[in-house]
Amino acid sequence: MIFMEEEKSKSYKLKKEYKKSENFKSYYITGAVGGFKNNYDFRLTFFRDDINGVVLKREEIRDNETLNQNEKEEIFSKVRIPCTLECEVIMTERALIELYNFIKKELNFLKETHQRIDNKLM
């Protein structure tokens, strides 16, 4: 699949041609962590967490009648959510700004869409 995008320059337009690499992969993620690790590269690591086991553990602790509330809170405070790091993206500052602008535009569109739906429901 090839995507085309125009990039404006001084007096002419350059077009980018996108194509997927042979090892292109898609991941379903639930979060991201990262930041600048040096003055040049921004690293963004995407993860997928598995909350199901934590929910079961919380219910098990809550339903344990041999523990008082303080003991339950202490045990639950030690429970950790397992997160699988799926991939890391390393990008330049320019790429980070482009990503920021893209995500901001998409979120604004999503917000406007939800507002239109909410207004129709009222």
Residue 67 lies in a domain: yes
Number of domains in the chain: 1
First to last CA, the chain: 41
Burial 18-55 (b: 16+ CB within 10 A, else e): eeeeeeeeeeebeeeeeeeeeeeebeebbbeeeeeeee
Q: How far, in Å, CA of 107 to CA of 103, rounded?
A: 6
Q: How far, in Å, CA of 31 to CA of 44, rounded?
A: 10
Residue 7 lies in a domain: no
Residue 13 lies in a domain: no
Residue 17 lies in a domain: no
Residue 75 lies in a domain: yes
* Structural domain of 87: 25-94
Q: Could you tell me the two tokens for 103?
A: 């995500």
Rounded (5°) CA angle 73-79-82: 155
Instruction: Output the pLDDT for position 115.
Output: 84
The more confidently predicted of residues 84 and 13 is 84
Residue 101 lies in a domain: no
Residue 108 lies in a domain: no
Q: How far, in Å, CA of 118 to CA of 122, rounded?
A: 6
Residue 58 lies in a domain: yes
pLDDT digits (tens, 9 = 90+) for 7-56: 665 678 889 899 999 999 999 999 999 999 898 899 999 999 998 888 88
How, if at all, do strands 83-91 and 42-49 pair?
antiparallel
pLDDT range class, residue 89, cuts 50, 70, 90 = very high
Instruction: Output the pLDDT for position 42.
Output: 97
